[in-house]
């Protein structure tokens, strides 16, 4: 392309042919790069337009220096994201010109414009990210709070504090709504998690193995989002492009090449790159292993990362099934594996009345606490086991029902004695 091989290609027709080969290869590679990046850039544009609190934190980590608040950050991030999306669109237009026209018929002005935009847009975005407030440091604590109204700040803080306090004091476990215990006591972080079975133990969950085989991309995206590695649809689109786009792009690039050898070489290269698209799954397997402290395997070259990639290259469906089984074995909360609660550990003894036909009695004075140890416990799965009923009979009235809540009164609660002070159950 620079003329340094003119002595090897003396005829102009030969030089033009190989110039076109090089041009189509570069066009295919840059188009693939844009295809791989575009789902993420579109996703960032959606987050910017939506602009929720969790979206703001994600975008700050990507586009703001040190991931902190910057003045007028929304407008500055919009400029950068639009330029990056413009880069992809310009490259697609250039690819269309290269594929749709032969070299002799290709409009030079269109090629010049698309190349200029495709190169200039990301370059301007990179410079803008440095010179704009996005790339500078600010003391943002006071600036960020000053954008909120004083009344809303003063009213929202006590409310948030009350909500957090109530959340800490009264939080229910998922499988046992009858307990009112702190969340920290019902969840235990798994310090040394393990992979769920071996790489070929897909018989442990055969339905999951079938899903991994026939719906690989969807299962992969769902598992990545569940593990906290980003949006499900972005992962699905990116993985599809890694595995399918090279074949189509390189074969389209070979259309306008007259040299049969170069055309076949481009087709084989496209198929080869499609197989290596499976390394996308290997990359995220490495991230999963590191984040959740899963055991590493060094059977390939003594390096765990190489082993993870090799597993995806040679048995992608088995690797995916193992990752999903591992995620199912734990509760995933805030990028950590928690032990799943056992149903039996949540059965708690509560106090109740004896069965029908049994007699009992106890004496209760003005300051005598209720002795619940004398009442036989039993296990219950009722929705509100904190309440029980005591029935007593008065000489002048019909039997009445007294309702007591132990969770509100505590263990040291005292009972006001009825008249007479002896409480007994009516056998009838």
Calculated CA dihedral for residues 241, 242, 248, 251, nearest 10 degrees:
160
Q: Please give the Cα distance from 225 to 276 (Å, whole number).
A: 23
Instruction: Count the Cβ atoms, other than its own, within 10 Å of residue 217.
Output: 17
Calculated CA dihedral for residues 414, 418, 420, 426, nearest 10 degrees:
-110
Q: Bridge partners of 392? A: 400
* Omega before 51 within 30 of 0, i.e. cis: no
Report the pLDDT value the prediction gives residue 278, as an integer from 0 to 100: 92
Alpha helices in 101-149 (DSSP H): 108-131, 140-146
Calculated CA dihedral for residues 267, 272, 276, 277, nearest 10 degrees:
20
Tokens in use for 184? 């920290």
Please name which of 289, 307, 189, 315 lies closest in space to residue 229, comparing C-alpha atoms: 289
Cα separations in angstroms, 428 against 7, 356, 360: 116, 9, 14
Q: Please give the Cα distance from 295 to 297 (Å, whole number).
A: 7
DSSP string computed for 7-55: TTS-SHHHHHHHHHHHHHHHHHHHHHHHHHHHHHHHHHHHHHHH--HHH
Question: Given the structure tokens 């200029």, which residue do they identify?
Answer: 116
pLDDT averaged per 10 residues in sequence order, the chain, 428 residues = 73 81 89 93 95 91 91 94 96 92 88 94 95 84 44 44 43 39 60 86 86 92 91 93 90 81 86 91 93 87 88 91 90 80 48 48 43 44 41 44 44 53 52
Report the pLDDT value the prediction gives residue 162, as an integer from 0 to 100: 46
Q: What is the CA radius of gyration of the chain?
A: 34
Report the pLDDT value the prediction gives residue 138, as an integer from 0 to 100: 79
Count CA atoms closer than 13 A to 383's CA, side-chain side: 0
List the Cα angle 294/297/301 in 5-degree steps.
145
Q: Which helix (H) or strand (E) holds 59?
A: helix 53-63
DSSP state, residue 127: H
Task: Domain ranges for the chain, please list them.
Answer: 12-147, 187-338, 348-424
User: Among positive and negative, which fits the CA dihedral 363, 366, 371, 372?
Assistant: positive
Q: Which helix (H) or strand (E) holds 237?
A: helix 232-253
CA 266, distance to chain mean position in Å, is 37
DSSP state, residue 196: S
Q: Please give the Cα distance from 271 to 240 (Å, whole number).
A: 14
Give 403: exposed, middle or buried? Use CB within 10 Å, 0-12, 13-18, 19+.
exposed
Coil, strand, or helix at residue 113?
A: helix
Cα separations in angstroms, 36 against 42, 88, 342: 11, 10, 43
Q: Which helix (H) or strand (E) holds 349?
A: strand 349-351
Please name which of 196, 199, 193 lies closest in space to residue 313, comparing C-alpha atoms: 199
List the Cα angle 126/118/67 in 5-degree steps.
25
User: Contact at 8 Å (CB) between 193 and 292?
Assistant: yes
Please name which of 280, 261, 259 lies closest in space to residue 269, comparing C-alpha atoms: 261
Instruction: Count the Cβ atoms, other than its own, within 10 Å of residue 7.
Output: 7
User: Contact at 8 Å (CB) between 350 and 377?
Assistant: yes
């Amino acid at each position: 392309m620079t003329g340094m091989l003119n002595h090897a290609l003396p005829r102009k027709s030969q030089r033009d042919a190989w110039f076109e080969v090089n041009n189509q290869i570069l066009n295919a590679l840059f188009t693939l790069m844009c295809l791989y990046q575009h789902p993420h850039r579109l996703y960032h544009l959606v987050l910017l337009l939506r602009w929720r609190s969790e979206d703001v934190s994600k975008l700050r980590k990507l586009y703001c220096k040190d991931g902190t608040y910057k003045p007028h950050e929304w407008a500055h991030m919009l400029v950068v994201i639009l330029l990056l999306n413009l880069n992809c669109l310009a490259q697609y237009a250039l690819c269309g010109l290269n594929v749709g026209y032969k070299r002799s018929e290709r409009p030079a002005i269109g090629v010049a414009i698309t190349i200029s935009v495709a190169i200039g847009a990301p370059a301007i975005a990179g410079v803008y990210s440095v010179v704009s407030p996005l790339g500078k440091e600010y003391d943002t604590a006071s600036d960020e709070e000053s954008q909120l109204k004083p009344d809303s700040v003063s009213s929202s803080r006590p409310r948030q504090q009350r909500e957090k306090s109530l959340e800490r004091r009264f939080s229910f476990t998922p499988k046992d709504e009858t307990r009112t215990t702190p969340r920290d006591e019902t969840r235990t972080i798994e310090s040394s998690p393990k992979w769920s079975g071996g790489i070929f133990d897909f018989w442990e969950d055969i339905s999951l193995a079938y899903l991994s085989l026939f719906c690989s991309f969807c299962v992969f995206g769902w598992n990545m989002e569940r593990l906290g590695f980003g949006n499900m649809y972005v992962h699905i689109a990116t993985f599809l492009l890694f595995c399918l786009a090279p074949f189509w792009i390189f074969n389209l690039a070979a259309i306008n090449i007259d040299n049969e050898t170069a055309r076949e070489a481009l087709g084989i290269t496209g198929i080869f790159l499609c197989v290596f698209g499976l390394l996308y799954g290997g990359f995220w397997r490495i991230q999963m292993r590191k984040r959740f402290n899963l055991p590493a395997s060094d059977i390939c070259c003594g390096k765990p990362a190489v082993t993870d990639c090799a597993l995806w290259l040679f048995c992608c469906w088995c690797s995916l099934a193992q990752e999903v089984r591992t995620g199912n074995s734990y509760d995933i909360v805030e990028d950590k594996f928690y032990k799943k609660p056992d149903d039996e550990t949540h059965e708690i003894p509560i106090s109740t009345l004896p069965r029908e036909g049994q007699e009992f009695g106890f004496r209760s004075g003005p300051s005598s606490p209720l002795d619940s140890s004398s009442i036989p416990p039993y296990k219950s799965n009722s929705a509100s086991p904190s309440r029980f009923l005591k029935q007593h009979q008065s000489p002048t009235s019909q039997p009445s029902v007294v309702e007591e809540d132990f969770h509100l009164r505590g263990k040291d609660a005292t009972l006001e004695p009825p008249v007479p002070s002896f409480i007994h159950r009516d056998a009838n």
